[in-house]
Amino acid sequence: MDKMPRWADVALIPFINLVLALAVSALVVLYIGESPVEALQVMIRGSVGSAYGWGFTLYYATNFIFTGLGVAVAFHARMFNIGGEGQAALGGLGVAMVSLYIPWPHWSLALLGATIGAAIFGAAWAAIPAYLQAKRGSHIVITTIMFNFIASALLVYLLVNVFRVPGNMAPETARFAEGARLPNAYDVAPWLGFSRSTPLNVSFFVAVAACIGVWLMIWRTRLGYEIRAYGFSEPGAVYAGINPVRIIMISMLVSGGLSGLMAINSVMGEAERLVIDPVQGAGFVGIAVALMGRSHPVGVFLAALLFGMLYQGGAELEFEMPAVSREMLLVIQALVILFTGALDNMVRTPVARVFLSLRRERA
């Protein structure tokens, strides 16, 4: 018998985790002398109370969907890929090169090209840690996090020495040409009330497609079957003739590729140039998103939406409540990550116990 019904596993526990995180956050807000209720209202209104807010919320969510899916795919193979940050940065490099050096006639073709470029660069960045893990047993957590630093340094070097436009002080590439700029939500659906400068763009649809694709791959293909089998039991996989090296490589390549795709949203869809830090922590948020979403694409989508709200709502809160500083917001976001990701079992065990005793009373 399972310990608890499925709905409790996928919905109730994340909800309790979130409430706990908000409760502790409320204490923090109280401590600085502001009203937690008001703060929550500001955050909700700011993130989903207007088309303007939705534009930012969904833009952030798009980033988190990509990095969250990346982490989730690796999780299915029991690989803890915390290199989303670096893989997404390299994805940005791929997007920039595709967008700058190829004269695209239309954005749709550019999007296709950028998608391929981002995925290849992100996957390539994951390939080295994956190879070291598969062949040499170097722990993937250590190597991927070190590759984040290398990616960051590499990007700085390239932006300063290779891509910087002569005469420009900022370490960033030139703005992409017209054919490589993605339509934003205003271009696609102006009647929804998005502003002309909303960051939400067509990459959101790519993210939704990626969710569906990941779901199909994990639960409908032989590759997904083998990845899950390997993730649950390596000796089992070897018994069944599933090659662990192959599974580690493929799952990490897919994972890195998905993280890399994040760049089409931030680099191509929003900034329209490659800047010095195109990822802005989304790689790490992806870990929390995958944990909270239980590595399921639907869960990842919902968790990404939640973190999008947190980001956008937090920015509004900072604006409307001057007492709430940037650091304070980081604390609140960190609390959500802590409760939904790291402290999951703290809630899970007691809830499972409650369900067991409920069931016994019924029996």
CB 146 within 8 A of CB 251: no
228 touches other proteins (CB under 8 A):
yes
- Decide: helix, strand or coil at residue 82: coil
Report the nearest approach of other proteins to the CB of residue 296 (Å): 14
Binding-site member from 41, 50, 152, 243 for other proteins (CB under 8 A): 243
The sign one gets for the Cα dihedral 83, 88, 94, 100 is negative
Q: Give the residue with the Cβ less far from other proteins, 230 or 284.
A: 230
Q: What are the backbone dihedrals phi and psi of residue 360, each rounded to the nearest 5 degrees, phi first?
A: -70, -40
236 touches other proteins (CB under 8 A):
yes
Report the nearest approach of other proteins to the CB of residue 1 (Å): 5
* Structural tokens at position 109: 């073709």
* Structural tokens at position 135: 């062949």
Report the nearest approach of other proteins to the CB of residue 291 (Å): 17
Binding mask 338-357 for other proteins (x = CB under 8 A): ------------------x-
Distance CA 34, CA 57 (A): 24
CA dist 313 → 52, 57, 281 (Å)? 12, 8, 17
Residues 6+ apart with CB under 8 A from 98: 110, 113, 114, 116, 117, 118, 180
Binding-site member from 216, 323, 342, 354 for other proteins (CB under 8 A): 216
| Residues constituting the chain | 363
Binding-site member from 15, 157, 232, 319 for other proteins (CB under 8 A): 232
233 touches other proteins (CB under 8 A):
yes
**Among the residue ranges 84-92, 189-197, 238-246, 269-277, the one whose residues contact other proteins (CB under 8 A):** 238-246
Report the nearest approach of other proteins to the CB of residue 216 (Å): 7
240 touches other proteins (CB under 8 A):
yes
137 touches other proteins (CB under 8 A):
no
Per-position DSSP letters for 35-77, written without gaps between them? -HHHHHHHHHHHHHSSHHHHHHHHHHHHHHHHHHHHHHHHHHT
220 touches other proteins (CB under 8 A):
yes
Q: What are the backbone dihedrals phi and psi of residue 283, each rounded to the nearest 5 degrees, phi first?
A: -65, -40
363 touches other proteins (CB under 8 A):
yes
Number of residues engaging other proteins in binding (CB under 8 A): 24
222 touches other proteins (CB under 8 A):
yes
Q: What are the backbone dihedrals phi and psi of residue 10, each rounded to the nearest 5 degrees, phi first?
A: -90, -20
* Structural tokens at position 217: 């791959």
2 touches other proteins (CB under 8 A):
yes
239 touches other proteins (CB under 8 A):
yes
Binding-site member from 136, 196, 326, 360 for other proteins (CB under 8 A): 360
Report the nearest approach of other proteins to the CB of residue 115 (Å): 20
Distance CA 49, CA 339 (A): 26
- List residues binding other proteins (CB under 8 A): 1-2, 216, 220-222, 225-226, 228-229, 232-233, 235-236, 238-243, 356, 359-360, 363
